[in-house]
Amino acid sequence: MADLERNKQIVVDYYQTAFGGEPEKAVEQYVGDRYTQHNPMAANGTEAFIGFVHWLRGENPELQLEIKRVLADGDLVATHSHLTLKPGEPGQALADFFRVEDGKVVEHWDVIQEIPATSANANTMF
């Protein structure tokens, strides 16, 4: 159980540090000797990740990432988050999956869904 909680904390700290505006610090502290990216729009490696975060925050300086849930199963950690690029916009629902190896993030997958203005039900996406 301790490993699952530790893995969850590593991922939360990594994600919040990076999207809080310090991707270099996040990579230095929380990423292993490789970073395999499964998002087809992003390249492998830490430099690509750092560049992406700087670009995204540069385009959206008021970006907010709120992690709603964190789940762990073995070396995999999943987060369910609300990403808002600009205040007042509905934003996106994110499901991110990270693989942790020896206490470091080494792999990432994601599923991104725009939050619509209207919904066919009264349930939220969170």
Assigned domain for 81 exists:
yes
**Going residue by residue through the chain (126 aa), what tens digit of pLDDT does each one get?**
689 999 999 999 999 999 999 999 999 999 999 999 999 888 999 999 999 999 999 999 999 999 999 999 999 999 999 999 999 999 999 999 999 999 999 999 999 999 999 999 999 999
- Residue 120 resides in a domain: no
Q: What pLDDT, on a 0 to 100 scale, did the predictor assign at position 64?
A: 97
Within a domain: 123: no
| 78 domain residue, yes or no | yes
pTM of the predicted model, to two decimals?
0.94
Q: Per the structure, how many domains does the chain have? A: 1
Domain membership flag for residue 124: no
39 token code pair? 């998002």
Which CATH number does the domain housing residue 97 bear? 3.10.450.50
- Cα gap 95→78, rounded to integer Å: 7
Q: Is residue 119 part of a domain?
A: no
User: What is the residue range of 18's domain?
Assistant: 2-114
pLDDT at 2: 83
For tokens 């699952």, name the residue: 4
Condensed to tens digits (0 to 9), the pLDDT of residues 24-38 reads 999 999 999 999 999
Looking at residue 126, its pLDDT comes to 95
Helix or strand holding residue 13 (H, E): helix 2-19
pLDDT at residue 1, as a whole number: 65
Positive or negative, the CA dihedral 65, 66, 67, 69 is negative
Asked if the structure places residue 44 within a domain, the reply is yes
On whether residue 122 sits in a domain, the answer given is no
